[in-house]
C-alpha cells in the first residue's frame, strides 16, 4: 500500500473519526486514510474510544428513588400553576428589566417617604399626632363599613325570619340543647374548612389520597 507523505493533522483525523467534518474535507481525508496505514490506525483508535465511551452503562439510583423525590415535591393544582405562571410573567428576566421594575417600585416609595419627611419637619405636626390621626381615620372608616353592613343585613327578610325562627326554637328546645347544636355546627364548619384547605392547598404526593370525611 502506498503511504501518503502529507498526513492530515491530528485534529482533522479526530473530526473525521467522529463524523463532524464537512463533506468535501471528509472525502479528501477519507481518500487519504484508505491509503495510509498510519492514519487508518489513528482513525481506528479514535473510533474504538468513541465506541467504548458510548457503551458505558447507564447507572441506576437505589430502589424507591422516585418516592423519595416525590416526598419533597409539591403537586400543585392547575389553577395554582396557572396563577403562578401568570405572576411569573411579570417578573423581569433581564438585568435591565429588573432595574426598570425596581425603579418603578421605588418612585411611589420615595414619594411617600419624601412626603412623610416633609410632614414631620413641620412644627405643628409630630409623629404622635399623625399616628392618632391615622388610627382615628381607620377606626371611623371600619365602624362606618361595619355598621352599614349590619343595618343592611338586619333589614333583609332572611334576618327577620332567622331571628323569629331562632327565638321560637330557643323557647321550645331550651338553651342547653341549643348550645349542643351550636357546638356541633361549629365543629362541622371547622372540619369542612380543614378538608377544603387540605384539598385545595395541600394536594397529595407520595400516593396519598385526598382528604374527606363522612358523618
Partner 1 sequence: MDYRELTDQEVIERARDGREPAFRELIRRYQRPVFSLIYRLVRDRERAEDLAQDTFIKVLNALDRYDPSYKFSSWIFKIAHNTALDDLRRKHPETLSIHGSPHASNRDEIEATVLTPVSDDETPEEFTSSKEIGGHIEKAIGNLRVEYRTAILLCHVEGRPYEEVAQIMDVPLGTVKTYIHRARNELKKQLAHLRC
Question: By CB under 8 A, is residue 196 in contact with partner 1?
Answer: no
Question: By CB under 8 A, is residue 209 in contact with partner 1?
Answer: no
Q: Which grid cell is 98?
A: 429588573
Cα gap 85→200, rounded to integer Å:
18
Binding mask 1-30 for partner 1 (x = CB under 8 A): ----------x--x----------------
CB-wise, 60 or 214, nearer to partner 1?
60
CB-wise, 14 or 39, nearer to partner 1?
14
The per-residue b/e assignment along 31-40, b for 16 or more CB within 10 angstroms, e otherwise, is ebbeebeebe
Q: Which grid cell is 171?
A: 323557647
Binding window for partner 1 (CB under 8 A); candidates: 43-51, 133-141, 150-158, 176-184: 43-51
CB-wise, 81 or 179, nearer to partner 1?
81
Question: By CB under 8 A, is residue 45 in contact with partner 1?
Answer: yes
Number of residues counted as binding partner 1 (CB under 8 A): 39
Binding mask 48-87 for partner 1 (x = CB under 8 A): xxx-xxxxxxxxxxx--xx-xxx-xxxxxxx-xx--xx--
CB-wise, 74 or 167, nearer to partner 1?
74
The answer for residues whose C-beta is within 8 angstroms of residue 131's C-beta and 6 or more apart is none
Q: Which of 19, 17, 22 is nearest to 46 (CA)?
A: 17
Cα gap 170→82, rounded to integer Å:
49
**Please, how many CA atoms are within 13 Å of residue 20, restricted to the half-sphere of its CB?**
7
The answer for residues whose C-beta is within 8 angstroms of residue 17's C-beta and 6 or more apart is 43, 46, 47, 50
Residues forming contacts to partner 1 in the complex (CB under 8 A) are 11, 14, 45-46, 48-50, 52-62, 65-66, 68-70, 72-78, 80-81, 84-85, 88, 203-205, 207
Amino acid at each position: 500500500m502506498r503511504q501518503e507523505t502529507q498526513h492530515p493533522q491530528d485534529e482533522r483525523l479526530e473530526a473525521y473519526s467522529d463524523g463532524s467534518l464537512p463533506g468535501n474535507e471528509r472525502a479528501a481525508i477519507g481518500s487519504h486514510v484508505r491509503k495510509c496505514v498510519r492514519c487508518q490506525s489513528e482513525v481506528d483508535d479514535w473510533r474504538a474510544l468513541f465506541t467504548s465511551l458510548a457503551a458505558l452503562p447507564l447507572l441506576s439510583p437505589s430502589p424507591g428513588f422516585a418516592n423519595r423525590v416525590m416526598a419533597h415535591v409539591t403537586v400543585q393544582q392547575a389553577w395554582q400553576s396557572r396563577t403562578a405562571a401568570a405572576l411569573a410573567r411579570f417578573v423581569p428576566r433581564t438585568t435591565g428589566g429588573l432595574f426598570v421594575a425596581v425603579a418603578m417600585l421605588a418612585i411611589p416609595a420615595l414619594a411617600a417617604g419624601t412626603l412623610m419627611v416633609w410632614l414631620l419637619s413641620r412644627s405643628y405636626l409630630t409623629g404622635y399626632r399623625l399616628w392618632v390621626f391615622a388610627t382615628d381615620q381607620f377606626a371611623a372608616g371600619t365602624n362606618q363599613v361595619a355598621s352599614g353592613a349590619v343595618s343592611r343585613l338586619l333589614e333583609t327578610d332572611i334576618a327577620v325570619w332567622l331571628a323569629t325562627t331562632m327565638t321560637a326554637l330557643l323557647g321550645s328546645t331550651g338553651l342547653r340543647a341549643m348550645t349542643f347544636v351550636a357546638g356541633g355546627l361549629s365543629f362541622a364548619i371547622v372540619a369542612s374548612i380543614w378538608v377544603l384547605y387540605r384539598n385545595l392547598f395541600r394536594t397529595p404526593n407520595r400516593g396519598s389520597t385526598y382528604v374527606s370525611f363522612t358523618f
